[in-house]
Structure 1
């Protein structure tokens, strides 16, 4: 693939950078450079980027909050699109709610409009909160809870973006995104917006229909209940304290490394602990001493260190227990031919593969 000589072909209001280090944009703090790195200002920009990339044959990778992601040391070929500017935050019913942070915005009236949605039965007795894909899910949860809107409080203090949480069907503290999602606006590779209503049978544990679509999540709508703001804030702070006690913020990591499988009879972290693998190392990567399912960048790790350790841990658990764990962290970028192996669900944001 030959990149264009000038980024002017994209003609966007936002930024297009060359050779942008991806370690700056991931919670693991590793990863080589993206050949091209774009931050579209709005959906018009996004449409121009996707259209130009399609015309020029440039592969596209969509980046959310950079969590749950391991980018190759070789970086990412083609164009990375950072969705951070998609920060819509409003009640569809017209009610009042404070913006979630200084960069949050009201609906972008200049952007393309998606087709009107059909009435969802879940929305009839709830406040419908619309969130842009680039908004940090933790900020969205805190602001909503502080306004007495309940339904996303379990995601406070969780890294990642709203779009990433939708894509992954993020789950914690007994709840998942699909419990509240009503619809999502996506942009197709040709630059057209489409509204996708949630179909319950298309969602399951850490699975969403967007994992097999060639599309970019732009925003989502959530059915919210009204509860006491003080109670919601207390619950969110309690959840954050629980995360702190489990060591989620002690070192750079991507969150849980492996998915849990109920057929195993115990969580993946407990399996890893039972196999005596806490503290295992590969270069600067380590299995944390406080939680078996959290692998960390303990200082100076490269992506290859982390992936090598992941594969070793998975292999030892399978050898000792017979259980083959499924990786939750997603692989992105240009990995050597046999390095990534056959892990399911790799390269999550690549429009050429989804």
Structure 2
């Protein structure tokens, strides 16, 4: 499927951002590879979009082609392994694991991102991360070549991997899990879901945790101590429920988000001497 001048706000969790010149939704690995080959051959800029959970797209939108991978969302079981397409939501993969009596992905039951995004940034929560269970990934190189890579080739670290450094695009992931009693898995997922609902501002659009955890500190606590909880610029607000989140409470723009992020970084640095590094990815052009 191909669309022109597609509004990108509906495809992000913040519900902000401009439009894409060309919006392509491939329905197979081959079509994704052919799209990349086309952009290489004709020198067209390419941006790959997952489900937009940890992303801010600027108000000027994105030039060239945006390839949206949501249609590649198949999930299947192979023994104690789960094979999941890049467009599958990692929450859905954790639920599929529960239904299959497979343990290891309980920590991911509240992570809103796609499988591709989870590998890209080695997503994690509650003491677990994707690299703990990942064994293999199918990727496309910048030249359009499809390859299978083992976990160690992806060089996963805290909130990053070589996927970003080498401009790989994830097509599929294989997770190795362990057989367990379904009720035990369900209890753990219920516990983590309750913790998430108690602590995170799920009632508003947001991009998740905005900042990485600084060594020896917690970003939310530093923001709180700097007196910024509840601070608002435009329609974007530092959450009153969890200061590590910035929520869209009143038709915020991407510019509102970026201005608030900049203000938080400068204020926290002046207050505590700690420079907060963004975890959220910011792409696109200014309006």
Paired residues for 1:300-319 under 5 Å? 300-319=251-270
Structure 2: gaps of 5 or more residues: none
Are 1:31 and 2:21 an aligned pair? no
**Residue aligned with 1:195, SS:** strand
Is the Cα contact below 8 Å between 1:89 and 1:130 reproduced in 2?
yes
Distance in structure 2 (CA, Å) of the matches to 1:159 and 1:90? 20
8 Å Cα contact 1:146/1:232 also seen in 2: no
1:277 match: 228
> Could you tell me which residue of structure 2 aligns to residue 206 of structure 1?
159
How many residues end up aligned between the 2 structures? Answer: 287
The structure with more radius of gyration: 1
Aligned Cα root-mean-square deviation (Å): 1.4
Question: For residue 103 of structure 2, what is the aligned residue in structure 1?
Answer: 150
Deviation per CA, 1:18-69, whole angstroms, max 9, x where unpaired?
A: 1111101000000000111110010121122111111111111111111110
Aligned with 2:286 (options 326, 329, 335):
335
SS of the equivalent of 2:9 reads helix
Alignment partners' CA distance in 2, 1:201 and 1:194: 12
Query: Scaled by the length of structure 2, what TM-score is found?
Result: 0.97
Does the aligned pair in 2 maintain the 1:184–1:221 contact within 8 Å? yes
1:167 aligns with 2:120: yes
Match of 1:237 among 190, 194, 199: 190
Alignment partner of 1:258: what SS? coil
Q: Deviations over 1:77-129 (max 9, x none)?
A: 1111111111232234xx4xxxxxxxxxxxxxxxxxxxxxxxxxxxxxxx222
- Larger deviation, residues 232-241 vs 267-276: 232-241
Q: How many angstroms apart in 1 are the aligned matches of 2:77 and 2:50?
A: 22
1:221 CA drift (Å): 0.9
Q: How big is the shift at 1:190?
A: 3.2
Paired with 2:168 and 2:273, the residues of 1 have a C-alpha distance of 37
Q: In the alignment, which residue of structure 2 is the partner of 1:123? A: none
TM-superposed deviation, 1:200: 7.6
Does the 8 A contact of 2:135 with 2:150 survive in 1?
yes
Any runs of at least 4 consecutive aligned residues in structure 1 with deviations exceeding 4 A, and if so which? none
Superimposed CA distance per residue, residues 174-208 of structure 1 (whole angstroms, 9 cap, x where no aligned partner): 01111111111101233321011111892211011
Task: Call closer, same or farther: CA 1:200–1:17 in 2, change over 3 Å.
Answer: closer
In the other structure, the counterpart of 1:287 is 238
Could you say what secondary structure the match of 1:255 adopts?
strand
- Equivalent residue runs for 1:216-255 within 5 Å: 216-255=169-208
Distance apart, 1:294 and its partner CA: 0.5
Return the match for 1:325 from 239, 255, 276: 276
- 1:288 & 1:190 partners in 2: Cα distance? 42
Counterpart Cα distance in 2 of 1:189 and 1:267: 36
Structure 1 spans left out of the alignment, 5+ residues: 1-14, 96-126, 337-354
2:70 counterpart (70, 74, 84): 84
Partner of 1:37: helix, strand, or coil?
strand
Task: Say whether 1:296 aligns with 2:256.
Answer: no
Aligned to 1:57, which of 43, 48, 53? 43
Distance 1:185 1:136 in 2: 17
SS of residue matched to 2:187: helix
* 1:290 aligned counterpart, secondary structure: coil
Match of 1:186 among 129, 139, 148: 139
Distance 2:15 2:76 in 1: 32
CA distance in 2, matches of 1:68, 1:248: 15
